[in-house]
Amino acid sequence: MHETMVAKGLLDSIIAESEKRNAKPTKAKMSCGTFNTVNDEVLLFAFEAIAKGTICEGMKLDIEHKSIQGKCKSCGKQFDFNITKPACSHCGCDKFDLLPDPALLLEEIELETD
């Protein structure tokens, strides 16, 4: 249910950035790490609902999920961490460090221009 908080944070940021530039937003791209447990369907529904009556009404929202990265202790390479197969995808070693989960970010917005 915390998708509503994410939707509210997104809406506030998009409105602030758009008003700064005196333009209407048409599209936004956000990203999050998989451990942020954001459900696309719930977030899109929440965003659409709270955007009604604002300059964000009807705009398109893209959500990118970034996988958690592991850093192999044997070969030193980074790989997409898979919890059901927790090993380096390059050399198969199971000794690795997990890198921090990517934050919830508003990456980019598109504004209407004349």
C-beta of 21 vs 90, nearer to other proteins: 21
Considering only 22-30, 44-52, 53-61, which stretch makes contact with other proteins by CB under 8 A?
22-30
Cα separation of the two ends of the chain: 38
Binding of other proteins at residue 48 (CB under 8 A)? no
Binding of other proteins at residue 86 (CB under 8 A)? yes
Binding of other proteins at residue 57 (CB under 8 A)? no
> Under rule CB under 8 A, how many of the chain's residues touch other proteins?
37
Q: Which two tokens stand for residue 44?
A: 């899109």
Reference 9, options 24, 67, 36, 35; nearest CA is: 36
Distance CA 52, CA 38 (A): 21
Residues contacting residue 1 through CB under 8 Å, at least 6 positions apart: 42
Chain residues that interact with other proteins, rule: CB under 8 A = 1-2, 5-6, 9-10, 12-13, 17, 21, 23, 26-27, 30, 35-37, 68, 83-84, 86, 94, 97-98, 101, 103-114
